[in-house]
Structure 1
């Protein structure tokens, strides 16, 4: 790899274990800081410091949790079904009816979902009284839609009815006001079931788990769980909350779910994100993204003209077209519409990448990427220049000489986490801070975020790069410019996985048992004449194989940070979730309660009314 790409988490809009969309919503805003320090490493880059690793681990074992699959309505999934009156497989109207009934009792049903429990506490804390009057019209409308869905005879017709329900949920001010978290789970679920791809049923999502389309079992809140598991201590007890003349038991499983939701939707802003999300879904989470004939991950692919064959290309360098220290800039870009008019784009970020085609020509081309978007959507548009001068003039002045708008161009985002950045992430977040980091362990369109708990790292001796050039001629083209020395590295990682389903409580060794998944990685680190780290490459001089799968991206959080409140959206971390979590960490329990045949120890917890 010729350079290191580091992107902080400024616009991470990941919705799960990564919702796959045609236009990615997880392309992040770029970092203008030192790439090797992209995840916060500020230590020495000299070989002796870089090589001083050994076995390093988190101060505490990351806890496990389900990723709360979207296909099961996320955090709105109940611990056991509560029977309603309808035969509908959708069940939203019954869900609301039974919620009203169960939350009106002195002892609120402990089998309600984590989302419902949060919402009940939220309403009490903020003085919002819920009754049939507030949501009866929504219940009636939902029931009518569900009856139409049951009588529909085609998947397309059923999806159309589900779309009506999704719109009703989205438009309901009452749901937003009284059910801020429950609403999210149902919105995601109805949206996916309603989606009808323009490309046909096979490209839609499966309907009600079985009919047509693409499976979406993997989508959920793993991006929240993985971060919460590292940043928040595992709950020790359930918590009993008293609300005037009512009481509600919030189990350990509920608390883990609430923490997962908090870190998924309202995380700390003190985070860094390195790499891009791979957009190539092979359908196999254990596979790599696109690779070339040598087994190396390809950076992207392009078809300049409609008559051309699609060709892969390798990343060679980011060009600095305006400032000497910034590859991403504000430029003057746009495109020509069908009438020949120049349409200016509202520019967020522009950069130029020098690339080389993987075909026999080995031709150099300059890819111009324009990232644009807003708070809920992002995408990239591409052009190709025949030389750097033309690329600069296009970016800075809008001149189109030597510029082609390709018939197709895609940057895969697979295998773009540089080995040197990964290594310094281990140094910073496992050796120094001992708080761990999150990695996506797959290189496909599916995303599986996992908390990393330890690494056993062995860095070999420095070897003059010319030695490897002589033995392995192909290695010369892989190292960073200015490389004088190379060291090979073995890094055996251990990460925490998810259980098949959530639990109301957890045994003492449960988290440790789920935290022993292994990933063995092999890579080289590249040093300049002063023996300072300047780059890295996955694999060894004799092979491009990394041993295990290269992490697709790496996400880090500053130690001891927490989610933030968003009261305008009905999210109260400090007053509800944070308080419940703190209560659950007490050493001594106040009592026991049996739920679903399990004996749960609980701590009494005071939640205060919100003071205006």
Structure 2
């Protein structure tokens, strides 16, 4: 089985393009936008490729290592969620494995998955490290604001700075106490890097950037794919092939039109920085003139919710609907 990853065919983005929160538009040099005359830009357009539906594979469920069939498919009812993947294969329950576990079967690494230790690693990370990481994240926001207001002063001497240093030291100590696990399988990687093994994970974290890019760049998988190895056959459903395609785009380089907004407060340059004109010109140029889609972060706050952009329509209306003033005669 071959998992395809293509080089960027878009001119600006394949992974994550935050088109809803970005850099100042229409500044001094507009040449990189192409045509900026509104009457020369297409009022509506649609790219030929149809993005496909897929999952965003949440970190809280261990990304594509999530056994999504448990509890919802008749063949997988009663299957132990913490059973070793090789045990399920031996019992003829390979259908119930996650996409990552099935990939380990293909790669010949499924017997190397330290499943029990991996689960313990994630549970302990969430129980002992996530709260610390969240506190550190909040302090970073406060300290960044303080540094901006107090240039040249040492943030480490502030109460927040001292607390930040203390929490980081405590975090590193607790990390050293985690179960030692050698991340040399697809399943372990997903748990540790894209799952519950990530300290400070938030409920909205997932693979939406990668799914949106894959949905734009790859043809939609529609059929089961069977892989036979050592006399055993495992079936990848279209949804699991989508999961692997999604993962293949997860760390892909991307270009941004806009700035990442990390502050929970809905204000500041990064929150407001894409102008309506800039957004319209970019969309009309990319989709209308070049026939290429892109990925948009449709939420302007500190969370990121990426979706593929395939089409747009424009409607132009007057800002004000008032009668023209009557002419007056003025005697001089």
TM-score, structure 1 as length reference: 0.36
2:101 to 116, 119, 132: 116
440 and 240 in structure 1: CA distance in 2 versus 1, 3 angstrom threshold: same
Equivalence for 1:474:
none
Q: Which residue is equivalent to 2:304?
A: 447
CA offset at residue 221 of structure 1? 0.5
- Quick check: 1:71 aligned with 2:60? yes
Aligned ranges for residues 404-415 of structure 1 at < 5 Å?
413-415=270-272
| Aligned equivalents of 1:142, 1:47: Cα separation in 2 | 55
Q: Deviations over 1:351-384 (max 9, x none)?
A: xxxxxxxxxxxxxxxxxxxxxxxxxxxxxxxxxx
CA distance in 1, matches of 2:235, 2:62: 21
Give 5+ residue unaligned stretches, structure 1. Answer: 1-7, 18-26, 86-90, 150-154, 196-204, 206-215, 283-288, 291-297, 300-412, 461-487, 489-539, 543-612
2:151 is matched with none
Tell me whether 1:190 sits opposite 2:202 in the alignment: no
Say if 2:294 and 2:309, in contact at 8 Å, map to a contact too.
yes
Q: Which residue of 1 aligns with 2:295?
A: 438
Listed as ranges, the matches of 1:463-542 within 5 Å are none
CA distance in 1: counterparts of 2:296 and 2:176, whole angstroms: 36
Residues 93-123 of structure 1: per-residue CA shift (max 9 Å, x gap): x45xx21213456x66111111111222123
- Secondary structure of 1:240's counterpart equals strand
Seen in structure 2, the aligned counterparts of structure 1 residues 166 and 232 have a Cα distance that, compared at 3 Å, is farther
Return closer, same or farther for 1:145/1:111 CA change in 2, 3 Å cut-off: closer
Is the Cα contact below 8 Å between 1:35 and 1:421 reproduced in 2? no
Pick aligned residue for 1:226 from 212, 217, 232 = 212
Per-residue deviation at 1:140?
7.1
Pair 1:262-2:248 in alignment: yes
Task: Tell me, yes or no, if structure 1 residue 61 matches structure 2 residue 62.
Answer: no
Return the alpha-carbon distance in structure 2 between the equivalents of residues 78 and 252 of structure 1: 15
How many residue pairs match? The answer is 257
Alpha-carbon separation, structure 2, partners of 1:256 and 1:118: 13
Post-superposition shift, 1:63? Answer: 1.2
Change (3 A) 1:253 1:418: same
CA distance in 1, matches of 2:67, 2:131: 24
**Which has the larger helix fraction?**
2
CA offsets 1:222-268 (integer angstroms, 9 cap, x no match): 01111111111211211112224111110011011111111112x3x
**TM-superposed deviation, 1:141:** 5.5
Query: CA offset at residue 35 of structure 1?
Result: 6.2
1:172 aligns with one of 178, 181, 184: 181
CA distance in 2, matches of 1:258, 1:145: 23
Between the aligned partners of 1:113 and 1:61, the Cα distance in structure 2 is 26
Contact kept, 8 Å, 1:145 with 1:165, in 2: the verdict is: no
What is the CA distance between 1:187 and its match in structure 2?
Answer: 4.0
Secondary structure of the structure 1 residue equivalent to 2:250: helix
CA shift in 2, pair 1:182/1:432, >3 Å: farther
- d(CA) in 2 for partners of 1:426 and 1:28? 13
The equivalent of 2:262 in structure 1 is 279
Displacement of 1:458 after TM fit? 3.5
Q: Which has the higher contact order (CA 8 A, sep 6+)?
A: 2
Q: 1:353-364 counterparts in 2 under 5 A?
A: none
Distance change >3 Å, CA 28–CA 241, structure 1 → 2: farther
Q: Higher strand share goes to which structure?
A: 1
Distance (Å, rounded) in 2 between the aligned partners of 1:145 and 1:451 = 34
